[in-house]
Amino acid sequence: MYNQKKTLYTEDGDILNEKHRNLTLKGTTANKGIAFGKISFLKRVASEFDKVKIRSINAECERFEKARQHAITQLSALYEASLEKLGEQNAVLFQIHQMMLDDPDYVSSINEVIRKEKANAEYAVHKVALRFEKQFLEMDNDYMRGRASDVIDISRRINEILMMHAGKIKSKGISFESDGPVILATDDLAPSETVQLDQHTVTGIITTKGSDRSHTAIFARTMGIPTVVCIGSKLTKRYEGKFAIIDANTGTVYIDPDEETILKFNEIKKTDDAQHSHLEEFRGVPTKTRSGRKIRLYANSGSLSDIDLVKASDAEGIGLFRSEYIYLQSKDYPTEDEQFEIYKEVLKGMGDKKVIIRTLDIGADKTAEYFMLKPEDNPAMGLRAIRLCLSNRALFKTQLRALYRASVYGNLSIMVPMITSVEEVTETKKIIEAVKKELTEQHLEFKDEVEFGIMIETPAAALISDELAPYVDFFSIGTNDLTQFTLAADRQNADLVKYLNPYHHSVVRLIEMTIQNGHAAGIWVGICGELASDEHFLGKLIQLGIDEMSVVPSSVLTLRAKIASLG
Protein backbone atom coordinates (compact mmCIF):
# COMPACT_ATOMS: atom_id res chain seq x y z
CA MET A 1 0.00 0.00 0.00
CA TYR A 2 0.98 3.64 -0.29
CA ASN A 3 1.94 5.98 2.52
CA GLN A 4 1.29 9.71 2.48
CA LYS A 5 4.43 10.29 0.33
CA LYS A 6 3.12 7.80 -2.23
CA THR A 7 6.02 5.41 -1.66
CA LEU A 8 5.06 1.85 -2.61
CA TYR A 9 6.21 -1.06 -0.47
CA THR A 10 6.21 -4.81 -1.01
CA GLU A 11 4.73 -7.16 1.54
CA ASP A 12 8.22 -7.60 2.98
CA GLY A 13 8.69 -3.87 3.39
CA ASP A 14 11.07 -3.34 0.46
CA ILE A 15 10.78 -0.07 -1.42
CA LEU A 16 9.31 -0.02 -4.91
CA ASN A 17 10.19 2.79 -7.28
CA GLU A 18 7.03 4.89 -7.81
CA LYS A 19 7.33 5.37 -11.55
CA HIS A 20 8.60 1.98 -12.70
CA ARG A 21 7.59 -0.24 -9.81
CA ASN A 22 11.23 -1.39 -9.55
CA LEU A 23 12.19 -3.14 -6.35
CA THR A 24 15.20 -1.38 -4.85
CA LEU A 25 17.47 -2.13 -1.92
CA LYS A 26 19.61 0.61 -0.39
CA GLY A 27 23.06 0.25 1.12
CA THR A 28 26.40 2.01 1.44
CA THR A 29 28.72 2.49 -1.51
CA ALA A 30 32.06 0.71 -1.03
CA ASN A 31 33.21 1.06 -4.64
CA LYS A 32 31.47 3.09 -7.33
CA GLY A 33 30.33 1.77 -10.67
CA ILE A 34 27.47 0.10 -12.53
CA ALA A 35 27.09 -3.70 -12.66
CA PHE A 36 24.58 -6.08 -14.26
CA GLY A 37 24.06 -9.75 -13.48
CA LYS A 38 22.07 -12.45 -11.76
CA ILE A 39 22.21 -12.44 -7.97
CA SER A 40 24.04 -15.48 -6.63
CA PHE A 41 24.49 -16.09 -2.93
CA LEU A 42 27.88 -17.20 -1.69
CA LYS A 43 28.07 -20.79 -0.47
CA ARG A 44 30.60 -21.84 2.14
CA VAL A 45 31.42 -25.14 3.78
CA ALA A 46 29.87 -25.62 7.22
CA SER A 47 30.78 -22.82 9.62
CA GLU A 48 29.70 -24.62 12.80
CA PHE A 49 31.01 -27.97 13.94
CA ASP A 50 29.57 -30.62 16.24
CA LYS A 51 31.66 -31.92 19.09
CA VAL A 52 32.86 -35.46 18.43
CA LYS A 53 34.70 -37.66 20.95
CA ILE A 54 38.09 -38.75 19.69
CA ARG A 55 40.12 -41.88 20.37
CA SER A 56 43.64 -40.40 20.32
CA ILE A 57 44.40 -36.92 21.67
CA ASN A 58 47.93 -36.92 20.23
CA ALA A 59 46.69 -37.96 16.80
CA GLU A 60 44.06 -35.18 16.82
CA CYS A 61 46.62 -32.56 17.89
CA GLU A 62 48.89 -33.76 15.11
CA ARG A 63 45.97 -33.54 12.66
CA PHE A 64 45.38 -29.93 13.70
CA GLU A 65 49.09 -29.11 13.36
CA LYS A 66 49.24 -30.50 9.82
CA ALA A 67 46.21 -28.41 8.86
CA ARG A 68 47.74 -25.30 10.46
CA GLN A 69 50.98 -25.71 8.52
CA HIS A 70 48.98 -26.31 5.34
CA ALA A 71 47.09 -23.06 6.00
CA ILE A 72 50.33 -21.11 6.43
CA THR A 73 51.57 -22.47 3.09
CA GLN A 74 48.29 -21.46 1.43
CA LEU A 75 48.52 -17.94 2.84
CA SER A 76 52.08 -17.57 1.62
CA ALA A 77 50.95 -18.50 -1.88
CA LEU A 78 47.92 -16.20 -1.57
CA TYR A 79 50.20 -13.32 -0.59
CA GLU A 80 52.35 -13.83 -3.70
CA ALA A 81 49.30 -14.20 -5.94
CA SER A 82 47.74 -11.03 -4.51
CA LEU A 83 50.71 -8.73 -5.06
CA GLU A 84 49.83 -7.92 -8.66
CA LYS A 85 46.08 -7.80 -8.09
CA LEU A 86 46.02 -5.86 -4.81
CA GLY A 87 49.42 -4.24 -4.38
CA GLU A 88 51.80 -4.77 -1.49
CA GLN A 89 50.00 -2.58 1.03
CA ASN A 90 46.87 -4.76 0.73
CA ALA A 91 48.50 -8.14 0.14
CA VAL A 92 50.46 -7.76 3.39
CA LEU A 93 47.25 -8.71 5.21
CA PHE A 94 47.86 -12.33 4.27
CA GLN A 95 51.26 -12.18 5.95
CA ILE A 96 49.51 -10.88 9.05
CA HIS A 97 47.20 -13.92 8.84
CA GLN A 98 50.27 -16.16 8.73
CA MET A 99 51.57 -14.52 11.90
CA MET A 100 48.20 -15.01 13.59
CA LEU A 101 48.38 -18.73 12.79
CA ASP A 102 51.75 -18.80 14.56
CA ASP A 103 50.40 -17.04 17.65
CA PRO A 104 51.23 -19.26 20.68
CA ASP A 105 48.00 -18.36 22.52
CA TYR A 106 45.85 -19.30 19.55
CA VAL A 107 47.65 -22.59 18.91
CA SER A 108 47.87 -23.65 22.57
CA SER A 109 44.19 -22.78 23.16
CA ILE A 110 43.08 -25.14 20.38
CA ASN A 111 45.34 -27.94 21.62
CA GLU A 112 44.00 -27.40 25.13
CA VAL A 113 40.38 -27.86 24.00
CA ILE A 114 41.35 -31.03 22.15
CA ARG A 115 43.12 -32.44 25.22
CA LYS A 116 40.73 -31.33 27.97
CA GLU A 117 37.49 -32.12 26.15
CA LYS A 118 38.83 -35.01 24.05
CA ALA A 119 37.17 -33.24 21.15
CA ASN A 120 37.74 -33.21 17.40
CA ALA A 121 39.99 -30.51 15.94
CA GLU A 122 37.19 -28.87 13.90
CA TYR A 123 35.15 -28.27 17.05
CA ALA A 124 38.22 -26.99 18.95
CA VAL A 125 39.18 -24.56 16.18
CA HIS A 126 35.63 -23.21 15.93
CA LYS A 127 35.27 -22.84 19.71
CA VAL A 128 38.59 -20.99 20.09
CA ALA A 129 37.81 -18.79 17.07
CA LEU A 130 34.56 -17.61 18.66
CA ARG A 131 36.33 -16.97 21.97
CA PHE A 132 39.09 -14.92 20.31
CA GLU A 133 36.55 -13.07 18.17
CA LYS A 134 34.65 -12.04 21.30
CA GLN A 135 37.87 -10.90 23.00
CA PHE A 136 38.89 -8.79 19.99
CA LEU A 137 35.44 -7.21 19.65
CA GLU A 138 35.49 -6.17 23.31
CA MET A 139 38.80 -4.32 22.99
CA ASP A 140 38.92 -0.52 23.01
CA ASN A 141 41.47 -0.37 20.20
CA ASP A 142 39.81 -0.28 16.75
CA TYR A 143 42.75 -1.95 15.07
CA MET A 144 42.44 -4.89 17.45
CA ARG A 145 38.67 -5.02 16.95
CA GLY A 146 39.41 -5.37 13.27
CA ARG A 147 41.33 -8.56 14.01
CA ALA A 148 38.04 -10.26 14.99
CA SER A 149 37.15 -10.94 11.36
CA ASP A 150 40.70 -12.08 10.68
CA VAL A 151 40.64 -14.76 13.38
CA ILE A 152 37.38 -16.10 11.93
CA ASP A 153 38.94 -16.10 8.45
CA ILE A 154 42.05 -18.07 9.46
CA SER A 155 39.99 -20.50 11.55
CA ARG A 156 37.59 -21.13 8.68
CA ARG A 157 40.63 -21.85 6.49
CA ILE A 158 41.99 -24.45 8.96
CA ASN A 159 38.62 -26.17 9.24
CA GLU A 160 38.23 -26.35 5.45
CA ILE A 161 41.64 -28.04 5.28
CA LEU A 162 40.71 -30.43 8.09
CA MET A 163 37.56 -31.38 6.23
CA MET A 164 39.47 -31.86 2.98
CA HIS A 165 42.00 -34.09 4.72
CA ALA A 166 39.12 -36.11 6.18
CA GLY A 167 37.50 -36.47 2.77
CA LYS A 168 34.37 -34.58 3.83
CA ILE A 169 34.75 -31.99 1.06
CA LYS A 170 36.57 -32.24 -2.26
CA SER A 171 37.89 -28.69 -2.45
CA LYS A 172 38.21 -25.71 -0.19
CA GLY A 173 36.93 -22.19 -0.60
CA ILE A 174 33.78 -20.47 -1.78
CA SER A 175 31.27 -21.33 -4.47
CA PHE A 176 28.21 -19.79 -6.09
CA GLU A 177 25.91 -20.41 -9.02
CA SER A 178 27.51 -19.00 -12.17
CA ASP A 179 25.54 -18.78 -15.39
CA GLY A 180 26.88 -15.66 -17.03
CA PRO A 181 27.71 -12.41 -15.16
CA VAL A 182 27.07 -12.67 -11.42
CA ILE A 183 26.30 -10.18 -8.69
CA LEU A 184 27.66 -11.93 -5.63
CA ALA A 185 25.50 -11.63 -2.51
CA THR A 186 26.55 -12.58 1.03
CA ASP A 187 26.58 -11.46 4.64
CA ASP A 188 30.17 -10.24 4.30
CA LEU A 189 33.30 -11.32 2.47
CA ALA A 190 36.59 -12.20 4.11
CA PRO A 191 39.68 -10.71 2.42
CA SER A 192 40.84 -14.17 1.35
CA GLU A 193 37.45 -14.74 -0.31
CA THR A 194 37.44 -11.40 -2.10
CA VAL A 195 40.83 -11.93 -3.69
CA GLN A 196 39.70 -15.31 -5.10
CA LEU A 197 36.95 -13.71 -7.18
CA ASP A 198 37.14 -13.82 -10.96
CA GLN A 199 36.47 -10.25 -12.07
CA HIS A 200 35.15 -11.49 -15.44
CA THR A 201 32.45 -13.56 -13.71
CA VAL A 202 31.67 -11.45 -10.62
CA THR A 203 30.57 -8.07 -11.95
CA GLY A 204 29.43 -6.70 -8.57
CA ILE A 205 29.20 -7.42 -4.84
CA ILE A 206 26.32 -6.77 -2.41
CA THR A 207 26.42 -7.58 1.32
CA THR A 208 24.07 -7.40 4.28
CA LYS A 209 26.85 -6.34 6.65
CA GLY A 210 30.35 -4.93 6.22
CA SER A 211 31.79 -1.46 6.04
CA ASP A 212 33.06 0.88 3.33
CA ARG A 213 36.34 0.93 5.29
CA SER A 214 36.77 -2.82 5.63
CA HIS A 215 39.53 -4.83 3.98
CA THR A 216 36.92 -6.23 1.62
CA ALA A 217 35.86 -2.74 0.51
CA ILE A 218 39.48 -1.77 -0.05
CA PHE A 219 40.10 -4.93 -2.06
CA ALA A 220 36.95 -4.34 -4.13
CA ARG A 221 38.12 -0.81 -4.96
CA THR A 222 41.56 -2.09 -5.92
CA MET A 223 40.02 -4.78 -8.14
CA GLY A 224 37.49 -2.35 -9.64
CA ILE A 225 34.35 -4.30 -8.66
CA PRO A 226 31.23 -2.14 -8.01
CA THR A 227 30.22 -2.90 -4.41
CA VAL A 228 27.35 -1.96 -2.11
CA VAL A 229 27.55 -3.01 1.56
CA CYS A 230 25.36 -2.74 4.67
CA ILE A 231 22.09 -3.49 2.86
CA GLY A 232 20.81 -5.25 5.96
CA SER A 233 18.20 -7.96 6.41
CA LYS A 234 16.31 -6.91 3.25
CA LEU A 235 18.89 -8.81 1.22
CA THR A 236 17.59 -12.37 1.49
CA LYS A 237 17.96 -15.59 -0.48
CA ARG A 238 14.57 -15.15 -2.09
CA TYR A 239 16.46 -12.98 -4.60
CA GLU A 240 18.68 -15.88 -5.69
CA GLY A 241 18.85 -15.98 -9.50
CA LYS A 242 17.05 -12.65 -9.96
CA PHE A 243 18.50 -10.26 -12.53
CA ALA A 244 19.73 -7.08 -10.86
CA ILE A 245 21.53 -3.82 -11.47
CA ILE A 246 23.96 -2.35 -8.96
CA ASP A 247 24.14 1.43 -9.04
CA ALA A 248 27.10 1.68 -6.68
CA ASN A 249 27.32 5.42 -7.40
CA THR A 250 24.21 5.88 -5.22
CA GLY A 251 24.29 2.66 -3.19
CA THR A 252 21.14 1.28 -4.87
CA VAL A 253 20.37 -2.25 -6.06
CA TYR A 254 17.52 -2.72 -8.57
CA ILE A 255 15.90 -6.18 -8.47
CA ASP A 256 14.19 -7.38 -11.69
CA PRO A 257 14.39 -3.90 -13.22
CA ASP A 258 12.07 -2.98 -16.06
CA GLU A 259 13.30 -2.34 -19.60
CA GLU A 260 13.41 1.42 -19.20
CA THR A 261 15.65 1.15 -16.14
CA ILE A 262 17.95 -1.34 -17.89
CA LEU A 263 18.30 1.01 -20.87
CA LYS A 264 18.98 3.93 -18.55
CA PHE A 265 21.83 2.19 -16.74
CA ASN A 266 23.22 0.78 -19.97
CA GLU A 267 23.63 4.38 -21.12
CA ILE A 268 25.22 5.40 -17.80
CA LYS A 269 27.68 2.51 -18.08
CA LYS A 270 28.51 3.43 -21.66
CA THR A 271 29.24 6.96 -20.50
CA ASP A 272 31.46 5.64 -17.70
CA ASP A 273 33.32 3.38 -20.16
CA ALA A 274 33.73 6.22 -22.63
CA GLN A 275 35.09 8.41 -19.86
CA HIS A 276 37.65 5.73 -19.09
CA SER A 277 38.70 5.62 -22.75
CA HIS A 278 38.91 9.42 -22.78
CA LEU A 279 41.41 9.28 -19.91
CA GLU A 280 43.94 7.50 -22.13
CA GLU A 281 44.30 10.78 -24.03
CA PHE A 282 46.07 12.14 -20.96
CA ARG A 283 48.71 9.44 -20.84
CA GLY A 284 52.20 10.78 -21.38
CA VAL A 285 51.22 14.46 -21.21
CA PRO A 286 52.25 16.97 -18.51
CA THR A 287 49.84 17.61 -15.63
CA LYS A 288 48.76 21.22 -16.12
CA THR A 289 45.76 23.43 -15.43
CA ARG A 290 44.07 25.35 -18.25
CA SER A 291 46.22 28.38 -17.39
CA GLY A 292 49.38 26.29 -17.76
CA ARG A 293 50.22 25.88 -14.08
CA LYS A 294 52.22 22.66 -13.57
CA ILE A 295 51.18 20.21 -10.84
CA ARG A 296 53.41 17.27 -9.90
CA LEU A 297 51.20 14.18 -9.98
CA TYR A 298 52.79 11.24 -8.19
CA ALA A 299 51.57 7.85 -6.97
CA ASN A 300 51.63 6.11 -3.59
CA SER A 301 53.46 2.81 -3.23
CA GLY A 302 54.08 0.21 -0.53
CA SER A 303 56.63 -2.13 -2.05
CA LEU A 304 59.00 -2.99 -4.84
CA SER A 305 56.24 -5.05 -6.46
CA ASP A 306 54.09 -1.91 -6.80
CA ILE A 307 56.57 -0.27 -9.19
CA ASP A 308 54.98 -1.81 -12.28
CA LEU A 309 51.57 -0.49 -11.16
CA VAL A 310 53.03 2.99 -10.61
CA LYS A 311 54.72 3.01 -14.02
CA ALA A 312 51.58 1.68 -15.73
CA SER A 313 49.57 4.49 -14.12
CA ASP A 314 51.77 7.10 -15.85
CA ALA A 315 52.55 8.79 -12.52
CA GLU A 316 55.40 11.30 -12.65
CA GLY A 317 57.07 9.73 -9.63
CA ILE A 318 56.37 8.19 -6.24
CA GLY A 319 55.14 10.74 -3.73
CA LEU A 320 54.82 8.30 -0.83
CA PHE A 321 56.75 5.05 -0.52
CA ARG A 322 55.64 3.45 2.75
CA SER A 323 58.82 1.92 4.09
CA GLU A 324 57.05 0.41 7.12
CA TYR A 325 55.78 -2.44 4.96
CA ILE A 326 59.35 -3.73 4.76
CA TYR A 327 59.21 -4.10 8.54
CA LEU A 328 55.68 -5.53 8.60
CA GLN A 329 56.72 -8.28 6.19
CA SER A 330 59.72 -9.28 8.27
CA LYS A 331 59.82 -11.57 11.30
CA ASP A 332 62.72 -9.54 12.72
CA TYR A 333 64.27 -6.11 12.20
CA PRO A 334 65.31 -5.89 8.53
CA THR A 335 69.04 -5.35 8.22
CA GLU A 336 70.70 -2.37 6.56
CA ASP A 337 71.66 -4.49 3.55
CA GLU A 338 68.15 -5.92 3.20
CA GLN A 339 66.65 -2.44 3.18
CA PHE A 340 69.38 -1.09 0.89
CA GLU A 341 68.61 -3.71 -1.77
CA ILE A 342 64.89 -2.84 -1.73
CA TYR A 343 65.43 0.95 -1.86
CA LYS A 344 68.02 0.50 -4.61
CA GLU A 345 65.66 -1.54 -6.78
CA VAL A 346 62.80 0.93 -6.26
CA LEU A 347 64.99 3.85 -7.29
CA LYS A 348 66.44 1.99 -10.28
CA GLY A 349 62.95 0.91 -11.31
CA MET A 350 61.73 4.51 -11.41
CA GLY A 351 64.74 5.78 -13.40
CA ASP A 352 65.16 9.54 -13.08
CA LYS A 353 61.65 10.05 -11.63
CA LYS A 354 61.43 11.29 -8.07
CA VAL A 355 60.89 8.71 -5.31
CA ILE A 356 59.89 10.10 -1.90
CA ILE A 357 60.47 7.46 0.75
CA ARG A 358 58.77 7.97 4.10
CA THR A 359 60.83 6.82 7.05
CA LEU A 360 59.48 4.20 9.41
CA ASP A 361 55.86 4.82 10.47
CA ILE A 362 55.33 1.88 12.80
CA GLY A 363 52.79 2.25 15.61
CA ALA A 364 49.05 2.97 15.83
CA ASP A 365 47.33 0.51 13.45
CA LYS A 366 50.62 -0.81 12.05
CA THR A 367 52.88 -2.87 14.26
CA ALA A 368 55.01 -6.00 14.28
CA GLU A 369 55.45 -8.35 17.23
CA TYR A 370 59.24 -8.11 17.32
CA PHE A 371 59.04 -4.38 18.11
CA MET A 372 57.54 -5.43 21.47
CA LEU A 373 55.68 -2.13 21.83
CA LYS A 374 53.77 -1.67 25.05
CA PRO A 375 49.96 -1.72 24.77
CA GLU A 376 48.56 1.81 24.56
CA ASP A 377 45.05 3.08 25.19
CA ASN A 378 45.36 5.43 22.21
CA PRO A 379 48.21 4.20 19.98
CA ALA A 380 47.44 6.77 17.26
CA MET A 381 48.73 9.38 19.71
CA GLY A 382 51.38 7.16 21.24
CA LEU A 383 54.93 6.02 20.54
CA ARG A 384 54.91 5.90 16.75
CA ALA A 385 56.71 7.15 13.67
CA ILE A 386 59.37 9.80 14.43
CA ARG A 387 58.86 9.40 18.19
CA LEU A 388 59.69 5.71 17.94
CA CYS A 389 62.68 6.43 15.70
CA LEU A 390 64.15 9.08 17.99
CA SER A 391 63.70 6.79 21.00
CA ASN A 392 65.52 3.98 19.15
CA ARG A 393 68.27 5.76 17.24
CA ALA A 394 70.10 2.60 16.24
CA LEU A 395 66.93 1.50 14.42
CA PHE A 396 66.62 4.90 12.76
CA LYS A 397 70.28 5.06 11.74
CA THR A 398 70.04 1.64 10.11
CA GLN A 399 67.23 2.84 7.88
CA LEU A 400 68.88 6.17 7.08
CA ARG A 401 72.18 4.45 6.19
CA ALA A 402 70.31 2.14 3.80
CA LEU A 403 68.50 5.09 2.24
CA TYR A 404 71.61 7.19 1.70
CA ARG A 405 73.55 4.25 0.28
CA ALA A 406 70.68 3.66 -2.17
CA SER A 407 70.51 7.36 -3.13
CA VAL A 408 73.15 6.97 -5.88
CA TYR A 409 70.78 4.73 -7.86
CA GLY A 410 68.03 7.26 -8.54
CA ASN A 411 66.23 10.46 -7.60
CA LEU A 412 65.64 9.99 -3.85
CA SER A 413 63.82 12.27 -1.43
CA ILE A 414 63.34 11.43 2.25
CA MET A 415 60.43 12.55 4.40
CA VAL A 416 59.72 12.04 8.08
CA PRO A 417 56.19 11.40 9.44
CA MET A 418 54.28 12.68 12.48
CA ILE A 419 56.38 15.76 13.21
CA THR A 420 55.15 18.00 16.02
CA SER A 421 58.17 20.23 16.80
CA VAL A 422 61.25 21.92 15.38
CA GLU A 423 63.37 19.89 17.80
CA GLU A 424 62.27 16.62 16.14
CA VAL A 425 63.42 17.97 12.78
CA THR A 426 66.78 19.25 14.04
CA GLU A 427 67.46 15.98 15.90
CA THR A 428 66.66 14.04 12.73
CA LYS A 429 69.03 16.21 10.70
CA LYS A 430 71.80 15.65 13.27
CA ILE A 431 71.38 11.90 12.90
CA ILE A 432 71.48 12.28 9.11
CA GLU A 433 74.75 14.21 9.34
CA ALA A 434 76.18 11.50 11.62
CA VAL A 435 75.12 8.84 9.12
CA LYS A 436 76.73 10.72 6.22
CA LYS A 437 79.96 11.09 8.23
CA GLU A 438 80.01 7.33 8.97
CA LEU A 439 79.43 6.45 5.31
CA THR A 440 82.22 8.79 4.24
CA GLU A 441 84.64 7.27 6.75
CA GLN A 442 83.70 3.78 5.52
CA HIS A 443 84.21 4.87 1.88
CA LEU A 444 80.61 3.99 1.01
CA GLU A 445 79.10 5.97 -1.86
CA PHE A 446 76.06 8.21 -1.34
CA LYS A 447 74.53 11.45 -2.60
CA ASP A 448 75.29 14.30 -0.25
CA GLU A 449 72.36 16.44 -1.40
CA VAL A 450 69.18 14.41 -0.86
CA GLU A 451 65.94 16.38 -0.71
CA PHE A 452 64.60 16.28 2.87
CA GLY A 453 60.99 16.91 3.86
CA ILE A 454 58.47 16.31 6.61
CA MET A 455 54.84 15.31 6.78
CA ILE A 456 52.34 17.81 8.10
CA GLU A 457 49.75 15.54 9.70
CA THR A 458 49.34 17.02 13.17
CA PRO A 459 47.70 20.36 13.98
CA ALA A 460 50.90 21.22 15.87
CA ALA A 461 53.00 20.92 12.72
CA ALA A 462 50.52 22.93 10.64
CA LEU A 463 50.35 25.71 13.24
CA ILE A 464 54.15 26.07 13.38
CA SER A 465 54.75 25.35 9.70
CA ASP A 466 56.34 28.81 9.40
CA GLU A 467 58.93 27.74 11.99
CA LEU A 468 59.48 24.31 10.40
CA ALA A 469 59.82 25.46 6.79
CA PRO A 470 63.39 26.88 7.03
CA TYR A 471 64.70 23.43 8.06
CA VAL A 472 63.25 21.40 5.17
CA ASP A 473 62.99 21.25 1.38
CA PHE A 474 59.30 20.39 1.23
CA PHE A 475 56.11 19.66 3.15
CA SER A 476 53.78 16.76 2.42
CA ILE A 477 50.35 17.09 4.02
CA GLY A 478 48.90 13.83 5.35
CA THR A 479 45.19 14.64 5.46
CA ASN A 480 44.04 11.35 7.03
CA ASP A 481 45.82 11.92 10.34
CA LEU A 482 45.47 15.70 10.13
CA THR A 483 41.69 15.30 9.94
CA GLN A 484 41.39 12.82 12.83
CA PHE A 485 43.66 14.83 15.13
CA THR A 486 42.05 18.18 14.30
CA LEU A 487 38.52 16.86 14.80
CA ALA A 488 39.37 14.53 17.72
CA ALA A 489 37.76 11.59 15.86
CA ASP A 490 39.56 8.26 15.62
CA ARG A 491 39.54 7.30 11.92
CA GLN A 492 39.65 3.60 12.86
CA ASN A 493 36.37 3.88 14.74
CA ALA A 494 33.45 3.16 12.41
CA ASP A 495 31.06 4.91 14.83
CA LEU A 496 32.89 8.22 14.29
CA VAL A 497 32.80 8.30 10.50
CA LYS A 498 30.26 11.13 10.51
CA TYR A 499 32.70 13.30 12.46
CA LEU A 500 35.62 12.70 10.08
CA ASN A 501 34.89 15.58 7.73
CA PRO A 502 38.02 16.42 5.70
CA TYR A 503 36.22 19.51 4.35
CA HIS A 504 35.78 20.94 7.85
CA HIS A 505 36.85 24.58 7.89
CA SER A 506 39.45 23.88 10.56
CA VAL A 507 41.15 21.23 8.40
CA VAL A 508 41.03 23.39 5.28
CA ARG A 509 42.49 26.35 7.18
CA LEU A 510 45.39 24.23 8.42
CA ILE A 511 46.05 23.07 4.85
CA GLU A 512 45.94 26.65 3.60
CA MET A 513 48.24 27.83 6.39
CA THR A 514 50.75 25.10 5.60
CA ILE A 515 50.82 25.95 1.88
CA GLN A 516 51.19 29.67 2.54
CA ASN A 517 54.00 29.18 5.05
CA GLY A 518 55.79 26.72 2.81
CA HIS A 519 55.67 29.06 -0.17
CA ALA A 520 56.77 32.02 1.94
CA ALA A 521 59.92 30.05 2.81
CA GLY A 522 60.48 29.04 -0.82
CA ILE A 523 59.68 25.33 -0.49
CA TRP A 524 57.13 23.21 -2.35
CA VAL A 525 54.07 21.69 -0.66
CA GLY A 526 52.40 18.41 -1.54
CA ILE A 527 49.52 16.32 -0.27
CA CYS A 528 49.38 12.52 0.07
CA GLY A 529 46.28 11.72 2.12
CA GLU A 530 42.94 10.49 0.75
CA LEU A 531 41.89 14.09 0.11
CA ALA A 532 44.46 14.21 -2.70
CA SER A 533 42.29 11.80 -4.71
CA ASP A 534 39.05 13.68 -4.03
CA GLU A 535 37.86 15.12 -7.34
CA HIS A 536 35.34 17.34 -5.55
CA PHE A 537 38.09 19.01 -3.48
CA LEU A 538 40.62 19.19 -6.29
CA GLY A 539 39.62 22.68 -7.38
CA LYS A 540 40.04 23.97 -3.83
CA LEU A 541 43.51 22.41 -3.56
CA ILE A 542 44.57 24.06 -6.82
CA GLN A 543 43.13 27.36 -5.60
CA LEU A 544 45.06 27.04 -2.34
CA GLY A 545 48.28 26.62 -4.31
CA ILE A 546 49.19 22.96 -3.85
CA ASP A 547 52.29 21.98 -5.85
CA GLU A 548 52.19 18.19 -5.74
CA MET A 549 49.71 15.39 -5.17
CA SER A 550 50.39 11.72 -4.50
CA VAL A 551 47.48 9.35 -5.05
CA VAL A 552 46.70 5.67 -5.60
CA PRO A 553 47.95 4.63 -9.07
CA SER A 554 44.43 4.02 -10.41
CA SER A 555 43.53 7.70 -9.85
CA VAL A 556 46.42 9.29 -11.77
CA LEU A 557 44.83 9.68 -15.21
CA THR A 558 41.46 10.68 -13.75
CA LEU A 559 43.04 13.51 -11.76
CA ARG A 560 45.25 14.61 -14.65
CA ALA A 561 42.17 14.98 -16.83
CA LYS A 562 40.34 16.86 -14.08
CA ILE A 563 43.29 19.20 -13.46
CA ALA A 564 43.42 19.98 -17.19
CA SER A 565 39.83 21.23 -16.98
CA LEU A 566 40.55 23.61 -14.08
CA GLY A 567 41.71 27.19 -14.34
Three-state DSSP at 30 gives: strand
Stated as kind and residue range, the H or E segment containing 129 is: helix 121-137
pLDDT tens sequence for the chain (567 residues): 223 333 444 444 454 444 445 799 999 888 889 999 999 998 876 666 789 999 999 999 999 999 999 999 989 888 877 776 666 667 778 888 998 999 999 999 999 999 999 999 999 999 999 999 888 888 766 556 667 878 988 998 999 899 888 887 665 556 676 678 999 998 888 777 877 787 778 999 999 987 766 667 777 777 778 999 989 999 999 999 999 999 999 999 999 999 999 999 999 988 887 777 788 889 999 999 999 999 999 999 877 877 877 888 899 999 999 998 888 878 889 999 999 999 999 999 999 999 999 999 986 556 677 887 777 777 778 888 999 999 999 999 999 999 999 999 999 999 999 999 999 999 999 999 999 999 999 999 999 999 999 999 999 999 999 999 999 999 999 998 999 999 998 876 767 778 889 899 999 999 999 999 999 999 999 999 778 888 889 999 999 999 999 998 878 998 999 999 997
Annotated catalytic residue: which of 61, 230, 389, 528? 528
* Residue closest to 306 by CA, chosen among 349, 361, 339: 349
- Look up 215 and say whether it is catalytic: yes
What is the pLDDT at residue 330? 82
What is the pLDDT at residue 21? 56
Q: pTM for the complete prediction?
A: 0.62
What is the pLDDT at residue 22? 72
Domains and CATH numbers, the chain: 8-44+175-278 (3.50.30.10), 57-165 (1.10.274.10), 292-564 (3.20.20.60)
What is the pLDDT at residue 500? 84
Q: List C-alpha distances in Å: 340 to 5, 333, 334, 343, 404.
A: 66, 13, 10, 5, 9
249 is in an annotated binding site: no
55 is in an annotated binding site: no
62 is in an annotated binding site: no
Q: How far apart are CA 162 and CA 65, in angstroms?
A: 10
Q: Residue 415's CB: how many other CB atoms inside 10 A?
A: 25
401 is in an annotated binding site: no
- Look up 230 and say whether it is catalytic: no
Sheet holding 8-9, edge to edge: 8-9, 15-16, 23-26, 252-255, 243-247, 34-41, 182-186, 202-207, 227-229, 28-31
Annotated catalytic residue: which of 70, 126, 215, 389? 215
What is the pLDDT at residue 77? 83
Q: How far apart are CA 221 and CA 474, in angstroms?
A: 31
491 is in an annotated binding site: yes
What is the pLDDT at residue 313? 85
Q: How far apart are CA 399 and CA 431, in angstroms?
A: 11
